[in-house]
Amino acid sequence: MRTQLNSETEGRTRREAGGDQPIDETLFADALLASYRRAIESVAAARDDIRAAALHLAAIWRAGGRLVYVGSGSSGLAAAADAAELPGTFGLDESRLAIVLAGGITKPFRIDAAAEDGAAAGEQAIVAFGDLGNDAVIAVSASGSTPFTVAAAAEARRRGAFVIAMAHRPGSPLLSDADAPIFLASGEEALRGSTRLAAGTAQKPRSACSRR
């Protein structure tokens, strides 16, 4: 197992010489499980905000509105996977679903880090939808400050969309500008530099909003 761990496990799991490679897989597994527990607890803590967003989104969907997922990087890929599940598993009309992902979704194994910083591209991606007065947007970002996602969500709100935002930093730009901000206090990842573990786990219940 060759990776970097955060402070929760490092120090206890590194070789005395070299220091790069963890040698105690049990400690790392325990740290992962602890981070997943925090992720689930963060969802429980935000249940009232999630429920309120879900009820509003359900009303939009029943009235014929569209649902647009917006994201970048790992969060965006998780959102795309969630959106792709809705028609086959839950029978939602795919013509009313859309995915806006920084860099596009044609190369899932090559996350375009530079595209995440493209605020103008985020705005233009939303402009293509025209009027969003009857629609909803779910925007996800672990940091809540990814330029592409923040700009796309802001443009969607300017165009009348009901914007649901999920992020893991309180007071972040994405949450501050949303109609329904959902803060998920999942804490640090066990694996440094990754947002697809605890953060991804906490973000997963988002699609329940459109299934009510």
Residues marked active site are found at 85, 116
b/e burial code for range 182-211 (CB count within 10 A of at least 16 → b): bbbebbebbbeebbbbbbbbbbebbbbbbe
Query: Distance between the two ends of the chain, CA-based, in angstroms?
Result: 41
Token pair 């066990």 is at which residue?
Answer: 190
Question: Could you tell me if 179 and 162 are in contact, meaning their C-beta atoms sit under 8 angstroms apart?
Answer: yes
In sequence order, what are the residues at sequence separation of 6 or more whose Cβ sits closer than 8 angstroms to the Cβ of residue 52? 180
Q: Which two tokens stand for residue 68?
A: 């647009």
